[in-house]
A and B are shown apart, each in its own frame.
Chain A
Amino acid sequence: MQGMEVETRFITLPSRKKADWRGYLSTKLNEIRSGQIDINCQDWPFSCRDLKQLISIIDRAGLKISIIRSEIPETIVSAAALGHETFLILTKGHKESPNRALTDLRVNKDPNILFHEGTLRSGEHLEAEGDVLLLGDVNPGAKISAGGNVMIWGRLRGIAHAGKYGDQTAKITALELRPLQLRIANEVARGPEELPEPGLTEQAELVSGKIVIQPARSRLSSPKRPN
């Protein structure tokens, strides 16, 4: 405690194209006796369940995690939801993506994802230059807007604007999507009248110029990631 430095060990999981992380992690942990772990999950899309498994493996080795790094926003969401410090790594692939190239100049000026914890109440407005991740609800009368994607770990019942600088590929994702109004780039849509299926994470995106709401398929589980 008294000024004693805990040594930080770095672990970088292999890319999911190469090898499974579990075996790699176990052998890696055998070499480490003490200290805290700074873990880079690279391109692994981890759900909370996956992360819990990873954390318990590290726990069993008697070690603690100091920070979880990832290239994948969803892994960051899961890690943050489990109460870990996180860091989103922006990859080169981000820039090369053809359909984002136009707008990414703007987004990349401030490449950080903005985290906000807490509910946005009526009259409040959360704005972000890049992507925004909210851990909490957006209540009716509140507004959340971002240059990139809007991700809400909670209920969206107010107004959300993704791609406010014109990024047409921006998406709005929420655990419960029942907004008053949705805006993506320059398109505006009123929220659906009917209630969403409970427990279904939904996502809104532009499909040929119209805002469409669909169950959020994990675009990560599909082999080809758009960005």
Chain B
Amino acid sequence: MAINTRIILICSGKGGVGKTTLTANLGIALARQGVKTAVLDADFGLRNLDLLLGLENRIVYTAQEVLEESCRLDQALVKHKQEPNLSLLPAGNPRMLEWLKPDDMQRIVSMLSEQFDYVLIDCPAGVEDGFKNAVSASKEAIVVTNPEVSAVRDADRVIGLLNTHGVKPVQLVLNRVRPQMIASQEMLSIDDVTDILALPLLGLVLEDEQVIISTNRGEPLTLSGSNSPAARCYTNIARRMQGEEIPLIDPSKEGSGVGSKLRRLMQTKIF
């Protein structure tokens, strides 16, 4: 079982592009498909994966205690209340950054891989020690980026580093896509991004206000089975990770149909 565990780093370089949101939503979506999934918050300095999953108040022990061997792994793991297939290993306190080494990270991940089918590692922003620790423990990676020049540039840098660390395969998720802005050429198009990054596109996530609402509530969108655009995108990504063939959405068709116009109307004006 440990051999087949997929250890996936979710990283971006730039902050605020949606790493943690993607980690939380993919974690839930994978768990809903029945695979045992662990999400590991490797962002020790600024942890908030627990917030997004709504598990902040259940944390007793963290990765720090596990490493110090003052508790067992299963004591530190926080099971999600509605999705028992999903567990969170919370980040310890920010002071861990001073002593945490790649070896420690590898130890945690190898412990997790004995129990889970998927280990998703929420990588900190930047390319410094926190990133290096997280990379050292990962087998494959998902790079998240937005259709913005600065996010793409940072993603490119990160992909270069992933290659030198031998992380393979690396796939791309393009987050916060606004079809209308792409159509009016105010935003980088999908092709512009994949042209530079030259990675297989695992999925697009459409810009969606529901994401902000769900983040603040601590209930990832994929949890409620919501039919909002972003929720569908996240679920599709999780299914593709599981090997299902699902075509990518076409942003040029998205948001022009009557159905989606109606949906947008429902989600914005009414209620």
Q: Does B156 contact A (CB under 8 A)?
A: yes
Q: Does B153 contact A (CB under 8 A)?
A: yes
Residue in A119, A137, A141, A157 whose beta carbon sits within 8 Å of that of B157 in the complex: A141
Q: How far is the CA of A123 from the CA of B157 in the complex (A)?
A: 6
| Cα–Cα distance between A139 and B157 once the two chains are bound (Å) | 10
Contact B160 A123 (CB under 8 A): yes
A47 part of interface (Cβ distance < 8 Å): no
Question: Which chain A positions have C-beta within 8 A of B156?
Answer: 121-123, 139-141
B196 interfacial by beta-carbon distance below 8 Å: yes
Closest A residue to B155 using CB positions: A122
In the complex the two chains form, what is the Cα distance from A124 to B153 in whole Å?
12
Tell me the complex Cα distance, A157–B163, Å.
20
Which one of A120, A123, A140 has the highest number of Cβ atoms from chain B below 10 Å of its Cβ? Answer: A123
State A140–B198 Cα separation when bound (angstroms).
Answer: 13
In the complex, chain A residues whose CB is within 8 Å of the CB of B153: 122, 140-141
Q: Are B196 and A140 in contact (CB under 8 A)?
A: yes
- The residue in B154, B196, B198 that gathers the most chain A C-beta atoms within 10 A of its C-beta is B196
- Number of chain B interface residues as a range: under 10
Complex CA–CA separation, A63 to B163 (angstroms): 37
How many residues on the A side are at the interface (Cβ–Cβ under 8 A)? 11
Q: Summarize A's interface: helix, strand, loop or mixed.
A: loop
B198 touches A122 (CB 8 A): no
Q: How far is the CB of B198 from chain A (nearest CB, A)?
A: 6
List residues of chain B with CB within 8 A of the CB of A120.
160
> Closest Cβ of chain B: how far from A36's Cβ, in Å?
33
Cα–Cα distance between A145 and B181 once the two chains are bound (Å): 37
Chain B residues with Cβ below 8 Å from A157 are 196
Q: How far apart are B14's CB and chain A's nearest CB, in angstroms? A: 11
Contact B160 A124 (CB under 8 A): yes
Give Cα distance in the complex from A124 to B162, angstroms.
13
Query: Cβ of B10 < 8 Å from any Cβ of A?
Result: no
One digit per residue, 1 when the CB lies within 8 angstroms of any chain A CB and 0 when it does not, for chain B 140-176 equals 0000000000000110110110010000000000000
Contact pattern, A 146-179, Cβ under 8 Å of B = 1, otherwise 0: 0000000000010000000000000000000000
Cα(A120)–Cα(B152), bound, Å: 14
Q: Which residues of A contact B163 (CB under 8 A)?
A: 121
Residues of B within 8 Å of A141, CB to CB, are 153, 156-157
Chain B contacts with A in 207-223, Cβ cutoff 8 A:
none
How many angstroms from the CA of A89 to the CA of B198 in the assembled complex?
34
From 54 to 113 in chain B, residues with beta carbon under 8 angstroms from any chain A beta carbon are: none
Q: What chain A residues lie within 8 Å of B157 (beta carbons)?
A: 121-123, 141
What residue in chain B is nearest A123 (Cβ atoms)? B157
Chain B residues contacting A140 (CB-CB under 8 Å) are: 153, 156, 196
| Chain A 106-135 per-residue mask, 1 if CB under 8 angstroms from chain B, else 0 | 000000000000011111100000000000
Sample (9) of A-B pairs whose CB atoms are under 8 Å apart: A119-B198, A120-B160, A122-B156, A122-B160, A140-B153, A140-B196, A141-B156, A141-B157, A157-B196
8 closest A-B pairs by CB: A121-B160, A122-B156, A122-B157, A123-B157, A121-B156, A122-B153, A139-B156, A141-B153
